[in-house]
Amino acid sequence: MSVQLAVRGLTKRYKTGEGVTGINLEVNKGELVTLLGPSGCGKTTVLRGIGGFLEPDAGEILIEGKSVTKLPPEKRPTSMVFQSYNLWPHMSVFDNLAFGLKIRGMPKADIKSAVSDALRLVRLPGAEKKYPTQLSGGQQQRVALARSLLLKPAVLLLDEPFSALDAKLRHEMREELRDIQTQTGLTMVFVTHDQEEALSLSDRIIVMNHGHIEQIAPPQRIYNEPETLYVAQFIGKMNFLEGVVDGERIRVGELSWPNAKRLSGKVKVAVRPEDVGLTASSNHQDEQGQALPGKIKQIMILGHYAEVSVDMGQHGTLKAFQSKEAIERLRTGESVRVSLASMIAYPND
């Protein structure tokens, strides 16, 4: 698979101290890669650097093997979809979409056909004569997306484009964007602070923290195998227990696991709520050392499953995701035995 975008040693520091240092990443042709992290982590700085909206202090940006580092935005084979729609209110949808194509000198008949195709792609057929003020927020964002698609960029850049929409519409727009990406084969770089959005959309996720990259991997690996404690804390819900290395084993109370990473001393043990098993103490026949005692503090029904908070004494409170069937057998205040299907250990820095 050919590399469509390469960022090498990108550094940009602001007077506030924020920014990025030594960013290296590659995006393959036809791939949708998401830059994910909290506000101030540097993800938008990287995106704007790729688009040419800021000048880096150091580093190089290559698109299709050619350096674009010194080129202004309008000279780069990129297009940006912003959080704000940036549509001209006095112009019809057709004129908003046709503007960039007219500047490029495209014949009128071809423009009409291209605009019609783009609107069909974003599920707004026949909207050419409407004005932005006649459209909902979701429809306006679709038009903004269509405008960028019409420019046929080598890399499409999206800066938190759905964050101003309500939850249901955001979900719909994610699905539509993924469909469009599949249909067109466009290379996309997407910025978001929403982990659910990143996990559902991406071929790969780049998790950022304080101006550097913590991990680059497909969504499933980011979720199942977070490389650092930061990623484990940031992606999805996670329980953390204090553990200790005992020779070739990592121990948490009576529980123990192989010390695969060859850690030493005290460690943080991370466990997903779905990997926590609960059984009433009265009918549980666990093998010695395979479960810990706990007491149910709270049961929160969340639709098709429930989140159970368990008081683990010296080990703190553990969250467990349980099925509706399992909840019928559990009660608040009840003593339970807690088993952990899997865990990940990190140095306790």
CATH of the domain at 252: 2.40.50.100
Mean pLDDT of 98-117: 88
- Report pLDDT for 213: 97
H helical segments located in the chain: 43-51, 93-103, 108-121, 137-150, 167-184, 195-201, 219-224, 229-234, 324-327
Q: How does pLDDT run across 25-68, given as a tens digit for each residue?
A: 999 999 999 999 998 899 999 999 999 999 999 999 999 999 99
Q: Does 219 lie in the same domain as 188?
A: yes
- Could you tell me if 157 and 47 are in contact, meaning their C-beta atoms sit under 8 angstroms apart? yes
- Report pLDDT for 304: 86
Q: Does 19 lie in the same domain as 163?
A: yes
Q: Does 211 lie in the same domain as 109?
A: yes
- Could you tell me if 310 and 303 are in contact, meaning their C-beta atoms sit under 8 angstroms apart? no
- Report pLDDT for 63: 97
- Report pLDDT for 282: 62
Mean pLDDT of 273-282: 87
If pLDDT is split at 50, 70 and 90, which confidence band does 237 have? very high
Domain of residue 113 covers 3-232
Last residue of a domain, one of 232, 249, 276: 232
Angle made by CA atoms 242, 256, 264, in degrees to the nearest 5: 60
Q: Does 54 lie in the same domain as 191?
A: yes
- Report pLDDT for 287: 47
Query: How many structural domains does the chain have?
Result: 2
More confident residue, 164 or 156: 156
Mean pLDDT of 280-290: 58
Q: Does 139 lie in the same domain as 268?
A: no
User: Sign of the C-alpha dihedral, residues 34, 37, 38, 40?
Assistant: negative
- Report pLDDT for 45: 95
Mean pLDDT of 216-233: 95
- Report pLDDT for 162: 86
Separation between Cα atoms, residue 160 and residue 44, nearest integer Å: 9
Helix (H) or strand (E) holding 239: strand 239-246
Mean pLDDT of 162-166: 83
Q: What is the mean pLDDT of the chain?
A: 90
- Report pLDDT for 288: 44
Q: Does 289 lie in the same domain as 207?
A: no
Q: Does 201 lie in the same domain as 315?
A: no
Whether 17 shows a pLDDT value over 90: the answer reads: no
- The reply to whether the predicted model has a pTM over 0.85 is yes
Q: Does 282 lie in the same domain as 162?
A: no
Q: Does 186 lie in the same domain as 68?
A: yes
Angle made by CA atoms 264, 266, 270, in degrees to the nearest 5: 105
What CATH number has the domain bearing residue 58?
3.40.50.300
Whether 152 shows a pLDDT value over 70: the answer reads: yes
Mean pLDDT of 117-121: 90
Separation between Cα atoms, residue 239 and residue 90, nearest integer Å: 52
Last residue of a domain, one of 169, 202, 232: 232
Last residue of a domain, one of 166, 201, 232: 232
Q: Does 281 lie in the same domain as 197?
A: no
- Report pLDDT for 283: 55
Mean pLDDT of 167-191: 90
For the ranges 250-254, 285-289, 314-318, the lowest mean pLDDT is seen at 285-289
Q: Does 131 lie in the same domain as 211?
A: yes
Q: Does 249 lie in the same domain as 192?
A: no
Whether 290 shows a pLDDT value over 80: the answer reads: no
Mean pLDDT of 326-330: 83
